[in-house]
Amino acid sequence: MNPVRKIVVIRVAAAMMMLPLLSGCVAMAVPLIAATGIASRQLRSRNEIVAELPAANAAALALVPDTRGTSVRLTNLTELPPPSGPLLPGNPWQDFARFSLEQAQALAKGDEAVSALLTPESALNFRSSTRPCAAREAAVVIDLDPGTAIYAPGPARQAAPDVGAAAAQLRDAGIIVLWLSQASANEVAGIADALKNSGLDPSGKDPILLVRNAEERKQVLREEANNTVCVVAIAGDRRGDFDELFDYLRDQRLASAYDGELGAGWFLVPDLFAPVAADSTVAPAGEDGGG
């Protein structure tokens, strides 16, 4: 077992209780992870945080100079910094950034730290309750995977302006931006290049969370990250990006029990990338381009 991985406790009895609500044999595979927590009252350096994250690019990031000083800065701002790109009112990315900043401010003041991750018990009683945070450094998770597919860097694409602007605002406020995918950690170089070239992570300094073997799941990465930082918000294009519980529900109506988290830690967002421009190539004379 990878020494970095936290101890995973499978609560067999609890899983059995969920069988009627879950589909087929996958019900037996529903993992319930025991939150271990890491006592963290002192602000730590960026390199210390990166070293503890399950980041595929942690070794490379540890070599990047910490330009923010000796520790991660907790913001005292009362409003979002000026946007670095267009952000429209009511845009889900604006809502994501605003909520994340508010949570980071609460952490800075010493308020109770609550993450955007459900407790293991929430999957049993269908009551929405989230895990506490031991760490005082705020972070957000942005899921890269489109729908149920796995993100794969392809032809160069530019980030949607509102995504890049929101991520830049959070970085400016001292909030750690984590990119998450079910892609293999072996793909980290290509994914890092895609994030940098697209404008999602122009400086190339954000940790990227990728699975370390074929059996690992994004749920484990989310929970491990929350043991190191306080994951105050998650952005994704489907509910399964917030918790894998939603991928196992037989009765999807039960998902409504967690609607209170939408906009309050969970943010359903559109595509991270700008639409691909239509092919404007002019067909040769006498051809209409049709089949």
Residue bearing the bigger pLDDT, 266 or 30: 266
Please state whether the predicted TM-score (pTM) of the whole model is above 0.95. no
pLDDT value, residue 130: 93
For 5, 64, 68, 177, 267, the CA distances from 230, given in Å and listed in that order, are 18, 22, 19, 11, 16
For residue 117, give the nearest of 241, 268, 254 by alpha carbon: 241
Give the H/E segment covering residue 232.
strand 230-236
Q: Which residues are registered as beta bridge partners of 178?
A: 141
Least confident of 64-78, 83-97, 114-128, 189-203: 64-78
pLDDT greater than 60 at residue 28: no
The verdict on residue 245 lying in a domain is yes
Q: Which CATH number goes with the domain that contains 259?
A: 3.40.50
> CA 76, CA 206: separation in Å to the nearest integer?
22
- The answer to whether residue 278 sits within a structural domain is no
179 beta partners: 142, 208
pLDDT (0 to 100) of residue 18: 42
Q: How far is CA 215 from the centre of its chain?
A: 19
Q: Kindly state whether residue 279 falls inside one of the protein's structural domains.
A: no
Would you say residue 254 lies in a domain?
yes
The answer to whether residue 3 sits within a structural domain is no
The span from the CA of 251 to the CA of 137, in Å, is 37
Higher pLDDT, 139 or 33: 139
145: in domain: yes
The answer, yes or no, to whether residue 98 has pLDDT greater than 80, is: yes
Band (254; pLDDT cuts 50, 70, 90): confident
List, in sequence order, every residue forming a beta bridge with 268; answer none if it has no partner. 236
Centroid of chain to Cα 238: 12
For the ranges 11-20, 204-213, 232-241, the lowest mean pLDDT is seen at: 11-20
Number of domains within the chain: 1
Which domain does 138 fall in, by range?
12-268
Quote the pLDDT of residue 68.
52
| Residue 121 belongs to a domain | yes
**Given the structure tokens 């002192």, which residue do they identify?**
42
Residue 110's pLDDT band, with cuts at 50, 70 and 90, is: confident
